[in-house]
Amino acid sequence: MSEQTRMAAEIAEQPVALRATLEALLPRREEIVAAFVGRRHVVFSARGSSDNAGIYGRYLLETHAQVPSGLLAPSVATHYRSRLDLSDTLVVSVSQSGRTAEIVQAQEWARASGAATIAVTNDAASPLAVAADLALTTVAGTELAVPATKSYLTQTAAMTVIGLALAPDPDLESRLADVADAVEAQLSNAGRLDPVVDLLAGPQQRIVTGRGLLMGTALETALKLEETCGRPVRGYSYADLRHGPISVVGDGITAVLVAAADGPLRAPMIELADDLRRRGATTVAVGGNASFAAACDVSTGTITTTERLAPLVAIVPMQMVIERVARRLGLDPDKPAGLSKVTRTDATVASGPR
**235-280 pLDDT, tens digit each:** 998 888 988 888 889 899 999 999 999 999 999 999 999 999 999 9
Q: Quickly state the pLDDT bin for 168 (edges 50, 70, 90).
A: very high
Please tell me the predicted confidence (pLDDT) of residue 151: 98
Burial 196-218, CB ≥16 within 10 A → b, else e: bbebbbeeeebbbbbbbbbbbbb
The single-letter DSSP state of residue 212 is G
Report the alpha-carbon distance of residue 160 to residue 17 in Å, rounded. 15
Domains of the chain: 6-177 (3.40.50.10490), 183-328 (3.40.50.10490)
Backbone angles phi, psi at 185, to 5 degrees: -65, -35
Q: Which residue has the higher pLDDT, 350 or 124?
A: 124
Q: Specify the amino acid at residue 188.
A: S
Q: Which is it for strands 282-287 and 116-121: parallel, antiparallel or unpaired?
A: unpaired
pLDDT greater than 50 at residue 352: no
The single-letter DSSP state of residue 62 is I
83-133 pLDDT, tens per residue? 999 999 999 999 999 999 999 999 999 999 999 999 999 999 999 999 999
Complete DSSP assignment for 271-323? HHHHHHHHTT-EEEEEES-HHHHHHSSEES----S-TTTTHHHHHHHHHHHHH
Q: Quickly state the pLDDT bin for 354 (edges 50, 70, 90).
A: low
The single-letter DSSP state of residue 264 is T
pLDDT greater than 90 at residue 33: yes
Nearest to 323 by CA among 143, 148, 138: 148
Average pLDDT in the chain: 94
Please tell me the predicted confidence (pLDDT) of residue 353: 45
Report the alpha-carbon distance of residue 4 to residue 46 in Å, rounded. 30
Helix orientation angle between 179-187 and 14-25, rounded to the nearest 10 degrees: 170
Angle, alpha carbons 121-24-180 (nearest 5°) = 95
Report the alpha-carbon distance of residue 48 to residue 311 in Å, rounded. 16
